[in-house]
């Protein structure tokens, strides 16, 4: 089982609709969860982070975390063509050396159709 899993897509959503992206993780000790957006050929940019169970909203974006189910999601409301990108889920995991490492899923490619 991969440490962080995402459906690779592609996910196709009409403009103005809600896009829903999902992520599951294997390490129950994980404390911090992140969503990055990556345009083709570019580096990832952080768009949301969440530490506590429940929902966190920022503009058109909502992150949802359920630690009992080991599940993180990202909702994008009123989807725009500029939202078309690959979305990467990342999870902070502790290591046996005491340091913490950030582990990424394989990403979900999202296309918003005008």
Partner 1 sequence: DGGITQSPKYLFRKEGQNVTLSCEQNLNHDAMYWYRQDPGQGLRLIYYSQIVNDFQKGDIAEGYSVSREKKESFPLTVTSAQKNPTAFYLCASSKWGSTEAFFGQGTRLTVV
Query: What are the residues binding partner 1 (CB under 8 A)?
Result: 4, 6, 8, 32, 34, 42-46, 49, 88, 90, 92, 95, 97, 99-107
Peptide bond into 10 cis (omega under 30): yes
- For partner 1, the closer of residues 43 and 82 by Cβ is 43
Q: Closest distance between partner 1 and the C-beta of residue 100, in Å?
A: 6
Query: Among residues 17 and 42, whose Cβ is nearest to partner 1?
Result: 42
* Residue where the block lists tokens 């966190």: 56
Residues 31 and 45: their CA atoms lie apart, in Å, by: 20
**CB of 31 or CB of 78, closer to partner 1:** 31
Q: Measured in whole angstroms, how far is the alpha carbon of residue 31 from the centre of its chain?
A: 15
């Amino acid at each position: 089982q991969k440490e962080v899993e995402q459906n690779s897509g592609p996910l196709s959503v009409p403009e103005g609709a809600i896009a829903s992206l999902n992520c599951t993780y294997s390490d129950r000790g994980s404390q911090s969860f992140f969503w990055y957006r990556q345009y083709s050929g570019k580096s990832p940019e952080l768009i949301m982070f969440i530490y506590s169970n429940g929902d966190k909203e920022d503009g058109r974006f909502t992150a949802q975390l359920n630690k009992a189910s080991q599940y993180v999601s990202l909702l994008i409301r009123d989807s725009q063509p500029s939202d078309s990108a690959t979305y990467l889920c990342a999870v902070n995991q502790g290591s046996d050396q005491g340091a913490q490492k950030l582990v990424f899923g394989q990403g979900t490619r999202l296309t918003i159709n005008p």
